[in-house]
Chains A and B, each alone.
Chain A
């Protein structure tokens, strides 16, 4: 069975703090894809990043960085120097064994000014 766990339901930080959102996944497939999506208060879902199971390189995009570790089945997301505009619900997702996609329950991030 496939599963995505985002153990942090809500996180609250003050602007300029760094914050890490955790994602732990389970799959028996050797080929799989991991994603992060952002859902701001306006409600739309925005793709942030995709990683495939053969690429464990960490990625940095501006203030965002992702740490993919197969040894711990984790794909964590760090926002450096958080801003109020980062306030959103963030979803981690797994696609494996065909085109089924499993989403985590999401982490709601509040960034206070």
Chain B
């Protein structure tokens, strides 16, 4: 089954404790992206990647890191989480450049205390 998976689905942590949210897709998509969803703000793009070792900032990259060492994986790293990073996070992937519709993972709800 074609899908984007994220882990964990739920996470409660404390300020400053490094964490990683994993994202994996099995559709051989070149493009992957991370978004955060906050009430009243829609989805805001954090980082995206056009291919292995190619990443770029979205609109809200501060406080986040990403890496794309393999085509299928695109982990999101919060090195020192803060309460304002409490949010619902979505990973997405997209195939052929001309199409660009994105397939989303199930979301990760993160709470930083």
| Chain A residues proximal to chain B, CB less than 8 Å | 4, 6, 9, 33, 35, 37, 43-45, 47, 50, 91, 93, 95, 98-106
Q: A35-B101, A99-B100, A100-B59 are in contact. Are A91 and B42 (CB under 8 A)?
A: yes
* 8 Å CB interface, B27-57 against A: 31, 33, 35, 40-45, 48, 50, 56
Q: Is the CB of B100 within 8 A of A91?
A: no
Number of interface residues of B (CB under 8 A): 25
Give the residues in chain A near B48, CB-CB below 8 Å: 99-101
Give the residues in chain B near A104, CB-CB below 8 Å: 42
| Chain B residues proximal to chain A, CB less than 8 Å | 31, 33, 35, 40-45, 48, 50, 56, 58-59, 88, 90, 92, 99-104, 106-107
> What 9 new A-B contacts, CB under 8 Å, besides A44-B104, A47-B101, A100-B45?
A6-B42, A43-B106, A45-B104, A47-B102, A50-B101, A91-B42, A99-B56, A101-B33, A103-B44
Q: A33-B100, A44-B107, A45-B90 are in contact. Are A100 and B58 (CB under 8 A)?
A: yes
